[in-house]
Amino acid sequence: MGKKVILTGDRPTGCLHVGHYVGSLRRRVELQNSGDYEDIFIMIADQQALTDNAGNPQKVRDNIDEVALDYLAAGIDPGKSNILVQSMIPELPELTLYYMNLVTVSRLQRNPTVKAEIQMRNFESNIPVGFFCYPISQAADITAFQATTVPVGEDQEPMLEQTREIVRKFNSLYGETLVEPEIMLPESAACLRLPGTDGKAKMSKSLGNCIYLSDPEEEVKRRVMSMYTDPEHLQVSDPGHLEGNTVFTYLDAFAEDSQVHEYCPDYATLDEMKEHYKRGGLGDVKVKKLLIRVLQDVLGPIRQRRSEYAKDLSYVHEVLKKGTERAREVSADTLSKVKASMGIDYNW
Ligand code: ATP
Ligand code: MG
């Protein structure tokens, strides 16, 4: 007991975007390099992706490579973190099956993230059963690796709560077996739920409002220049609003004061720049140009490393196989403990 283990992951439904970066990926790299964790598991959740992409398994398959490339490019080090593929671990659906008996249909219906996702996907009453149950399979993922810490974005809070309920229920029914995980949310408000470039919902692969880690520099520029700011800020001299101003939200998430000062020497800090914007006299184009430079500082090196790894997919697949192997060891151990606790380890 007492050892610290991380589980986190992404659905291979598209390339990773800057929302993933500030919401989870950047933190993972820091945690990985902190040396505070005994084991780190980063899951490419292809089975979860299939719950709302059953008609398009090729898309899920193709995006496993893309997500793995994004991980390596962002600084996930396979010597320190295990990158694994969900469908290659048969212990996970078996755990899911046992946990399904510990959750009611009405409890699943109350999950606010799942509710929002059902609406977004226009499922109405045609909700796939697998999709409806994915919070249970996520509980299996987290507990299989005996994870203590789950660094994810805000939308994952209900999943963590569901997992903790399953753990408590399991342990009280069958005896202390599973580890109760803690969520680790991003520190700043902007990173909790980075909005899309349209300024509306959260940035999400399914909504097409993303800046991807793999986007070329020109595309990032184009995206930023067309970003939503303050509709009442018509002339440079008009006072501007920061609330709901996506460009400033992105600066909050990405910019260091030192970068603000370097690229806009009139200001020592981002706060000074914000004050000027609120007073009036600072144009949107200048703020957008700053954001473009800040994003380039982050994305330039990622893009560079990504193109190197993309030349050697067989290396990437070796990384996935090795990470998955280690993940299987741990999840097989958890499954046998679970079955022993339930008394269904028939040693005939
Ligand atoms: P999909 O639309 O397929 O659900 P997604 O863009 O929501 O894709 P996920 O794979 O569901 O991405 O999320 C992976 C991780 O990234 C989760 O921890 C989630 O909380 C985090 N995350 C996703 N979008 C954002 C965002 N806009 N801001 C902060 N964190 C985010
Ligand atoms: Mg999502």
Closest protein CA for atom 16 of ligand 1: 20
Decide if 8 contacts 16 (C-beta within 8 A): no
How confident is the model over 315-341, as pLDDT tens digits? 999 999 999 999 999 999 999 999 999
Identity of residue 171: N
Pocket test for ligand 1, best of 11, 113, 123, 252 (most atoms within 8 A of CB): 11
Ligand 1 neighbour 194 (Cβ under 6 A) = yes
Q: Which atom of ligand 1 is nearest to the CA of 193?
A: 28
- The tokens for 95 are 């755990």
CA of 153 to the centre of ligand 1 (A): 7
Q: Which atom of ligand 1 is nearest to the CA of 204?
A: 6
What does the domain layout of the chain look like in residue ranges? 5-194+313-342, 217-307
Pocket test for ligand 1, best of 10, 46, 154, 246 (most atoms within 8 A of CB): 10
User: What does each of the 348 residues of the chain score in pLDDT, given as a tens digit?
Assistant: 579 999 999 999 999 999 999 988 999 999 999 999 999 999 999 999 999 999 999 999 999 999 999 999 999 999 999 999 999 999 999 999 999 999 999 999 999 999 999 998 888 889 999 999 999 999 999 999 999 999 998 899 999 999 999 999 999 999 999 999 999 998 888 888 899 998 888 898 778 899 999 999 999 999 999 998 988 888 999 999 999 899 999 999 999 999 999 999 999 999 999 999 999 999 999 999 999 999 999 999 999 999 999 999 999 999 999 999 999 999 999 999 999 999 999 989
Contacts of residue 260, Cβ cutoff 8 Å, sequence gap at least 6: 251, 267, 268, 269, 270, 273, 290
How confident is the model over 157-210, as pLDDT tens digits? 999 999 999 999 999 999 999 999 999 998 888 888 899 998 888 898 778 899
By the 10 Å C-beta count (0-12 exposed, 13-18 middle, 19+ buried), 95 is classed as: buried
How far apart (Å, rounded) are the C-alpha atoms in residues 227 and 185? 26
CA distances from 97 to 54, 87, 282, 324 (A): 20, 15, 58, 21
Decide yes or no: CATH 1.10.240.10 for domain 217-307: yes
Q: How far apart are the first and last CA of the chain?
A: 31
The domains spanning 5-194+313-342 and 217-307 adopt the same CATH topology: no
Q: Which atom of ligand 1 is nearest to the CA of 22?
A: 29
Q: Residue 210 CA: which ligand is closest?
A: 1
Q: Which residue, chain included where needed, has tokens 């999950």?
A: 111
Q: Residue 42 CA: which ligand is closest?
A: 1
Topology adopted by domain 5-194+313-342: Rossmann fold (3.40.50)
Ligand 1 neighbour 51 (Cβ under 6 A) = no
Ligand 1 neighbour 152 (Cβ under 6 A) = yes
